[in-house]
Structure 1
């Protein structure tokens, strides 16, 4: 049985995969305990439908009422998930066999320090080659970046891999004896050319690992934060072979990650986003043109895809909104 957990971590990303062979993959991490102010304001905007709503909101701001309290009073009671607590509850005593840092943005790595502090071991660390100089937003960001650097230079004991499109290797898509399969992970992007171009342009989003996971004929694509140049390359290489059943939308489901031709070719039954309904940069309605269901972790909470050994797939959400 395969389980894919798309966690509700606010403005960031974290996906946890339990593979049939018992190996655990984590794709990115973000362990904030509260929504960032931008996300909170986007949700409050959604609930501000009338002049009375606006009046109440302005009064709350003047009184210094916290965003979290305003959200609850507006009717939004969906709690963020701490990935580390989730791991401890769902997969106690498990190490992370494979951690994939899709690209070096801090909203995709806040939590590496906490993983070390609670003693969760990472055995394989996927990274991208880059020359990024980080822009720290929070006091803890510098410590997170230093932890990331410790991982990528091998100081934490994990095997560091820099992989490109079409890479083949033990466990991620082959078993030890060389038989195809393994954990069913394919790398659709980046290529060495995309990495070079992204570094020259200073656009780390196009460094993103774009991954395809296949189990019992069911395909899931994880888009990272890939933008137009990366998707152009993927479309040119794979064409109609991009068809999938579930898509984790690029760049949280925002316009910057939406690529009409790629989404049309993928034609997923489900698209998972972490924005949704708001704001103006949200591309959910565009995804709906090619997807039967567009689910947002912001409104659905954690979303879990389960595929059993017979190939039967079910998808469930923590909340029904």
Structure 2
């Protein structure tokens, strides 16, 4: 059993995974003013007594790194995962400065397609794998190299986002950061897309990050999570089952071998495509996805 939580942090992204293998992972951060201590205290509590903790930064936009310096102070980051880059920004925030410090330190591990590391996706006699695998980027791809050049010049880092798959039992999750539609169209033939159960829509579900239809057909997601962004900017993936975080609030995925029990922060939120298994482990159960 593992827990995946998508935190409601305003117009930003933040997730954590409490793996079933002595691993704990935070993906991105966006600490809203007034919620910093609540989130940090939750992360501390959930990762207590876990042997390996890591922070994955998909890319250094402020809505994915806000408060990184505070997290690193209160919950020291010993394993910092990101795509190798030399991103710069004019008038850098404290969070971006912290990102650069971690990115360029000996705590950094650089992500690329097929990379492996103990205990990200390699097990041994000490502990099991976290179940995380990287599908993109291919670092010598010309389109990707062009994006690295642009971020070095201070342009948007959206398209250096890695694509990360998490597998627990038979349940599969996919993150794509803020990768944009136009860039995905260019590089899609270099990515090994397979079916997933939960897809976190890139760029918070914005139209600018809509996953192309031919990729969606390969992924065949059972549920797409549409993140937090202004409603006017969102694509609601009308042909698919969706949970919209703007309305649902925090989303907890309680993951078993062949079932995901789903809970939300808004007790009035509901959907009609999940099975009711009567679960009560957390508040506001909305149903189960049976794999």
Q: TM-score, normalised by structure 1?
A: 0.73
The CA deviation string for residues 20-59 of structure 1, in whole angstroms up to 9 with x for no partner, is 012110010110137xxxxxxxxxxxxxxxxxxxxxxxxx
Q: 1:31 to 1:94 in 2, by over 3 A?
A: farther
- How far apart are the structure 2 equivalents of 1:30 and 1:200? 26
Q: Does 2:99 correspond to 1:148?
A: yes
After the TM superposition, which of the residue ranges 105-114 and 224-233 deviates more from structure 2? 224-233
1:163 aligns with 111
- Please state how far the C-alpha of 1:282 moved relative to its aligned partner: 0.7
1:117 aligns with 73
Instruction: Report how many aligned residue pairs link the two structures.
Output: 261
- Please state how far the C-alpha of 1:129 moved relative to its aligned partner: 2.6
- DSSP-derived class of the 2:188 partner: helix
In 2, are the aligned partners of 1:11 and 1:107 still within 8 Å (CA)?
yes
Gaps of 5+ in 2: 270-291
Gaps of 5+ in 1: 35-78
Q: Does 2:48 correspond to 1:101?
A: no
- How far apart are the structure 2 equivalents of 1:153 and 1:231? 27
The CA deviation string for residues 159-217 of structure 1, in whole angstroms up to 9 with x for no partner, is 311121111222111113699x7111111112212431212344411100110111112
In 2, are the aligned partners of 1:195 and 1:207 still within 8 Å (CA)?
yes
In 1, are the aligned partners of 2:47 and 2:53 still within 8 Å (CA)?
no
- How far apart are the structure 2 equivalents of 1:81 and 1:297? 21
The CA deviation string for residues 269-303 of structure 1, in whole angstroms up to 9 with x for no partner, is 11112236x5322111xx231x22x1122211110
Which of the numbers 165, 173, 181 marks the counterpart of 1:228?
A: 181
- How far apart are the structure 2 equivalents of 1:29 and 1:95? 21
The CA deviation string for residues 73-92 of structure 1, in whole angstroms up to 9 with x for no partner, is xxxxxx99953132135444
- DSSP-derived class of the 1:114 partner: helix
2:238 aligns with 288
1:199 aligns with 148
In 2, are the aligned partners of 1:96 and 1:123 still within 8 Å (CA)?
no
Q: Tell me the C-alpha RMSD between the 2 structures.
A: 2.7
- Please state how far the C-alpha of 1:104 moved relative to its aligned partner: 1.5
- How far apart are the structure 2 equivalents of 1:86 and 1:170? 26
- Please state how far the C-alpha of 1:106 moved relative to its aligned partner: 1.6
Q: Which has the higher helix share?
A: 1
Q: TM-score, normalised by structure 2?
A: 0.80
